[in-house]
Structure 1
Amino acid sequence: MNDSRRWAALAVLLVAEAMNLLDTTIVQVAAPAVHAELGGAASTISFYTAGYTLPFALLLITGGRLGDIIGRRRTFQVGVAGFVLTSGLCAAAAAPGFLLVFRALQGASAALVIPQTIGLIRVLFDGAARARALGMIGPVMGLAAVAGPVLGGLLTDAWSWRSVFLVNVPLGLAVLAASGLLAEDRSASRPRLDLLGTGLVVLGAGLVVYPLLTQWNGYLVAAGVAVLVVFALQQRFRGGLIERSLFRGLAFPAGLATSVLFFAVMTGLTQVVVLFLHLTQHADARTAGLSLLPWSCGLAVSSFAAGRWLVPRFGTRILFAGVAFLAVGIVGLAVGWPVLVALAVAGTGTGLFTVPFFTAALALVRPSETGSAAGLLNAVQQLGGTIGVAVLTMVFLATDVTIACWTAVALTLAAGLTAIGLIRGTRAGTPSELSRAGV
């Protein structure tokens, strides 16, 4: 394959990645407009986000396994086709229940697409070109996070909330048409699917998250925790969903805990801000989307600064500055700072955190474990976002924005504490591991 076809194939993968990740944030701003048209309880607003991110998170690893078994290009194509179909169905939904089902199927389709990206890039490129290609994934993820709320607000205001889903259809069809540029690839070992483990984690997480979204009693949460304990035992002794060797030291488990807490705040806070602006300030979708622009700009600028200057100079401990900025920004929201100022500070903290966090979390991961570790981190990140939307929205609807913000501050400080374990864990690595990771 010549160079022009390789880079065109990379563009196909990156557009698909952006499209799938964008749907995590783009619907947050549109969700109040959906609720206004379709009706339902106020809690359904959060379902439109969590209904996508939960299956997305829980099926990511299984999606990666399917790519190993039946081929990464084929799995990618099935996922994109499913994403296009479910996007159209979301746009046509006439009732909240139908939209929630279609959003869940859309998230499941995204879980087939995202895990294939790294494997297909490794087939397309080698050497320095591979490093450049893989290095483009991070900026695309950042762009999706930055653009999502603003784009969601503008599309909803200019046309309707249905356009937020319809925009995926031509993009997805273009990706599908160009997917022939991708080379087929599958794992030589053909690992088995752990259907029992997948079923247990889906059931357990669903039982935990659903009551939080609907403000039901805690019995389902307790049952969900029990199922997740069974899942952990199954993975320890017989399961093949999670690479057990990743848990040999402190760093990676602490990284997973930090990821859940931090991304719970990151995703849940933006949902609360949108609900606050819509329900309390009576802002329209465009105003809500543009109000999140300082958050997005702060995130973009600080991410660039962290990757270019701060992490090379100060190391991964710069993530604690990110935690501090995020906490200060949320406290500002709680005590009445102007929303735009508080969000700019909080967004700056988010960018300062994310770049060193992923460096530290993967610092001691062996090369043979990189795919499994990255997939698990991605899944936990989405799961944390789902939990954050559920918990912070529940608190906001039951009390007010001030209590929701203080809850987010507590979660942020907890993320800072677990990050101490992450950084200490990386210091236990060998000199060669630390040099390779840049920590």
Structure 2
Amino acid sequence: MTTTCAEPQPPATDDRRWRALGVCLAAGFISLLDTSIVNVALPSMERGLGATEAAQSWVVSGYSLTFGLALVPAGRLGDMRGRRQTFLIGLAVFTVASAACGLAASPGWLVVFRLIQGAAAGVVAPQTSGLIQQMFHGSERAKAFGLLGSVIGVSTAVGPLAGGVIIDAVGTDDGWRWVFFVNLPIGVAALAAGLRLLPRFPASADRRERFDPLGVLLLGSGVFALMLPLVQEQQWTGGQKWALLPVGAVLLGLFWMWERRQGRLGLAPLVDLNLFSLRSFTLGSLISLTYFAGFTTVFFVLALFLQNVAGYSALAAGVTVLPFAAASAVGAALGGRMVVRHGRRVVVIGLTGAAVGLLGVVAVVRLVPLESIGWAAVVPMIIGGLGSGITVSPNTTLTLTLVPVKRAGAAGGVLQTGQRVGSAAGIAVVGSVYFARLAHRGPADEALQLGLLTSVGFILVALALAVADLGERAKAPKTPEAARTPEAAQTPEAAQTAEG
């Protein structure tokens, strides 16, 4: 069901929009930081709290699991009831859950609070992309998504560094608690600023806009069945866990059939399947899924290698990826400005740079002594970071350009669910390659090279999709999608971006 409701237009001179964006980015930063910052705190949890290996696994993977499960339903809820209110509630729960994690008296309670924290992060994330869709248009929207891309790249890459700094400063006994407490001042400040700055766009006035509980159940159980064996791949021995993958596929198939029925009956579905008739949305979602399968896994295997094999401290391992984080921020800002003029070509350039940078890291691991890897990897890390930044924000802009603003929250939830599933799948596959080589008593540096090459393989799949799209667009007439969905193409800049 495609809406014909006009998009609310914020005043062009309203500078509060950019300050409101800062609130969204601060919340996005701490929620994405928590996907990686805890990795270096696991030994501290074991020493200070007595967390078992199973509890440590759930602290890491449980967050990603509930994060992914909440995205689409929360995005739909924001579309229906207002993104400002949904964002503030999610941020408040995230902040309280962070405090509860830091105060946890046992590993069991820590896991419970961590699951709540992940679900709250999943509530916040789609409201950010939806609010950007509402507040900005044309080239300003691309710039805003560029800043969001900077936050995604920096928060993911800087997590190990931030965790290492905290553990080094506080000590291993209580350092893990401050990994969670660091969210409190940012969360409280963002809440206070959000109450004052976030715009009050009206919620949907369409009486047919009802929540879809069966759709939520089918989608949630399908995503759960897909993600659980992926996030627990290292902890669950045996092959029985993979039986959940076809179960998840069947549940998602049933979800698709149910949503089509909702559309035929004129009822608002959880996910408007007409979104997938937009080439930009479908292709961008696939590129995002495959790229995140390669991009986020790099830090996983590299951190393990540097600390367990090369003898780096948590802080030194974090410093090694700092050039990637800084370059990613710069690349995202550049990509946000370039995408309006050059479209999908920017994504092709970014994916190429990311692949070249990671291949450079492989060469460094192969040719340079262990103690010098950190310094020798600076240049390829910068190249890979620039490529990553130039990929993420333009692809997000292109993916959501033609999405009707009324569906922006659910569409953002679908996009980010793909990112979470891609990350989980990538870590499972790359981790299996890395640990399998170690299990066969292969050299550790060779195991890392194979893991990184697997990551590059995922990125090359994303690159192939982007290149194929360029070829199709060269042969196709201009603006076919904009013509099909005129309510989504709000500006000439947006149409130009989609054509790229």
TM range (shorter): 0.7 to 0.9
Distance in 2, Cα, partners of 1:136 & 1:345 = 19
- Structure 1 position 393 matched with structure 2 position 431: yes
Letter paired with 2:218: L
Moved more, 80-89 or 421-430: 421-430
User: How does 1:351-366 map onto structure 2 within 5 Å?
Assistant: 351-362=389-400, 364-365=402-403
Contact 2:74 2:413 in 1 (8 A): no
CA shift, 1:421, in A, is 4.2
Q: Would the alpha carbon gap of residues 329 and 260 (structure 1) be closer, same or farther in structure 2, given more than 3 Å must change?
A: same
Matched-pair contact (CA < 8 Å) for 1:251–1:425: no
**Contact 1:53-1:382 at 8 Å conserved across structures:** yes
Q: Deviations over 1:182-230 (max 9, x none)?
A: 4544222262222222222322222233223234412223323332332
Given the alignment of the two structures, is residue 320 of structure 1 paired with residue 381 of structure 2, yes or no? Answer: no
2:170 matched to 1:153? no
Residue 36 of structure 2: SS of its match in structure 1? helix
Partner of 1:248: 277
Is 2:478 the counterpart of 1:430?
yes
Return the TM-score normalized by structure 1: 0.85
SS at match of 1:231: helix
Correspondence for 1:415: 462
Partner amino acid, structure 2, of 1:171: I
Counterpart check, 1:199 vs 2:217: yes
Distance 1:126 1:365 in 2: 12
Say how many residue pairs are matched. Answer: 437
1:376 — aligned with what? 414
Contact kept? 1:278, 1:284, Cα under 8 Å:
yes
Q: Which residue of 1 aligns with 2:444?
A: none
Is the 1:251–1:424 Cα contact (8 Å) retained in structure 2?
A: no
TM-score by length of 2: 0.75
Mind listing any 5+ residue stretches in structure 1 that lack a counterpart? none
Q: Output the CA distance in 1 between the equivalents of 2:139 and 2:279.
A: 32
Say whether 1:66 aligns with 2:113. Answer: no
Q: Which residue of structure 2 aligns with residue 168 of structure 1?
A: 183
The residue identity in structure 1 corresponding to 2:308 is L
Moved more, 246-255 or 4-13: 4-13
1:108 positional shift: 0.9
Shift of 1:36: 5.5
1: distance between equivalents of 2:83 and 2:400? 23
Share of identical aligned residues, percent?
A: 37
Q: How far apart, CA to CA, are the structure 1 residues paired with 2:295 and 2:29?
A: 18
C-alpha separation between the residues in 1 aligned to 2:142 and 2:102?
38
The answer to whether the 8 Å contact 2:39/2:160 transfers is: yes
Tell me, yes or no, if structure 1 residue 229 matches structure 2 residue 253.
Answer: yes
| Corresponding residue SS for 2:211 | coil
Question: Which residue in the other structure is 1:14 paired with?
Answer: 25
Partner of 1:274: 303
Query: What SS is found at the alignment partner of 1:82?
Result: helix
Tell me the secondary structure at the aligned position of residue 282 of structure 1.
coil
Residue number among 120, 124, 148 corresponding to 1:113 in the alignment: 124
Q: Residues 320 and 28 (structure 1 numbering): CA distance in 2 closer, same or farther, change over 3 Å?
A: farther
Aligned equivalents of 1:71, 1:365: Cα separation in 2: 17
Counterparts of 1:122 and 1:366, CA distance in 2: 9
Change in CA separation of 1:229 and 1:51 when aligned onto 2, cut-off 3 Å = same
What is the RMSD of the two structures over their aligned residues, measured on CA atoms? Answer: 3.5
Distance 1:251 1:124, change over 3 A: closer
